[in-house]
A and B are shown apart, each in its own frame.
Chain A
Amino acid sequence: MRAFEPIIVAFACEYCAYTAADMAGSLGMSYPPNVKIIRVPCTGKVDTLHLMRALQKGADGVLVAGCYLGDCHYKNGNLRAQQRVGYVSRLLDEIGIGGERVMMTFMSAGQGNVFAQVANEFTEKIRNLGPNPVKLGAGKAAA
């Protein structure tokens, strides 16, 4: 059986994590191709609904990557994102598919290495956790 390759959606703030991901690429640092990056103007723009829909539509894990607390271009967007990630994490536990499938992380624009490291670690964590149970169930429900 082929090893499970998780689909990771990463909402990346354009002021930090998105640039960091870009830098990781240009510095030749590898991070898993499973990580699909969605560029956002600020993680504060990432709503609870976006996180939920990503998982509902089949993501195995969702990463929200913003600036360090205190460094948000819009003052506290990253703090709000962090609170929403916490809310979604509790909701995923309530659903029973694992609160750890969603994670908030912080970095600066120059930290390509941090982006690559977080992307690798999170992908590994989700790989160990296994596929989003929703996908397996969808197969059964259709059968």
Chain B
Amino acid sequence: MITAVRKPLEEIMGFAAPYSRVLLLGCNECVTVCYAGGRKEVGILASALSMAFLKEGKKLDIVEQTLERQCDPEYVEEIAQTIDQYDAVFSMACGCGVQTVAGRYKDKPVFPMVNTMFMGASERQGVWAERCAGCGDCVLGRTGGVCPVARCSKRIFNGPCGGSTKGKCEIDPGVDCAWQLIWDRLKALGRTDLYSEIIPAKDWRSAKDGGPRRIVREDLLS
């Protein structure tokens, strides 16, 4: 999932200053699962914001709504009839959702309520960790299902580096060395032969280095 965390209230208050009526718009997908911008977080932020304003003797009208998915035009269309009632949209979706709303409603200011963090997985209740950096050319098949791009601090492809100590990364003893994990997993799988193969220098054009990316599926085009 795409993970996010709420922005500090002070920053959000700054966005809100010029407006008197805003739509606080949640998203039912990733940001719901990571407790950053689902229906419940919309309610909590609405309460917090309204209290923060009232404390200053000001009033901010906040209307709460949560869409099925903010990164899909068909769901973003749902607010077309009502959007004129608001001075601005405060989106609790990830950056993809914020931009979809902003792209559709060009004359309406849209502000992000969360900082979008990374593509990750839940490690346990309340803890999420980065797992994939969307490099566009997945090597998990060679690395025992452990990603060297997202989980090795140096993103090296033929690790570990000299900083790997007792299974931990040199940046922090609380961080697992991805290459230790890779080695352990390959050994358990009986596939250390994959480790012996040198992985050639990666072509980063499939990643962010090639500019903004898009996927086009001819079979699905309308």
Q: Is the CB of A48 within 8 A of B44?
A: yes
> Are B59 and A52 touching (Cβ within 8 A)?
no
Is there an interface contact between B48 and A94, defined as CB atoms closer than 8 Å? Answer: yes
CA–CA, A48 to B41, complex, Å?
9
- CB distance A137 to B54 under 8 Å? yes
A116–B204 CA distance with the chains assembled, in angstroms: 67
Interchain CA distance A48-B38 in the complex, whole Å: 13
Residue B122 lies at the interface, judged by CB distance under 8 Å to chain A = no
A47 adjacent to B40 (CB under 8 Å): yes
Question: Which residue in B9, B44, B54 is a CB contact (below 8 Å) of A134?
Answer: B54
Which of B8, B40, B51 interacts with A97 by CB under 8 Å? B51
A133 to B56, CA, bound (A): 9
Give the contacts of A64-111 with B (CB-CB under 8 A).
Answer: 91, 94-97
Check A94/B47 contact, CB under 8 A, given A49-B40, A140-B57, A141-B58: no
Q: From DSSP, what is the main secondary structure of chain B's interface residues?
A: helix
A55 within 8 A of B: yes
Number of chain B residues close to chain A: CB under 8 A: 18
Would you call A134 and B51 a contact (CB within 8 A)?
A: yes
A137 cross-chain contacts in B, Cβ below 8 A: 53-58
Q: Is B50 an interface residue (CB 8 A)?
A: yes
Tell me whether B43 is interfacial, beta carbon within 8 Å: yes
Name the residue in B43, B44, B54 with the highest tally of chain A Cβ atoms < 10 Å from its Cβ: B54
Report B-chain residues with C-beta under 8 Å of the C-beta of A91.
Answer: 44, 48
B52 at the interface (CB under 8 A from A): yes
Which residues of the other chain, A, contact B51 by a CB distance below 8 angstroms? Answer: 52, 55-56, 95, 97, 134
Distance from A9 Cβ to chain B, minimum over Cβ atoms (Å)? 14
| Nearest chain B CB to A96 CB, angstrom units | 6
- On whether A95 and B44 interact (CB within 8 A), knowing A137-B58, A141-B57, the answer reads no
CB <8 Å contact, A95 and B9: yes
CA distance A49 to B50 in the complex (A): 13
* A133 contacts B47, C-beta separation under 8 Å: no
B88-124 CB contacts (< 8 Å) to partner A: none
B54's nearest neighbour on chain A, judged by CB, is A137
**A27 within 8 A of partner (CB):** no
Query: What sequence of 0s and 1s flags, for each residue 100-143 of chain A, a beta carbon within 8 Å of any chain B beta carbon?
Result: 00000000000000000000000000000000011111101110
Check B43–A53 contact: CB distance below 8 A. Answer: yes
Report how far A53 CA is from B50 CA in the complex, Å.
Answer: 11
Q: Which residues of B contact A135 (CB under 8 A)?
A: 54
- Distance between Cα atoms of A142 and B56 in the complex (Å): 12
Identity of the chain A residue whose Cβ is nearest the Cβ of B125 in the assembled complex: A80
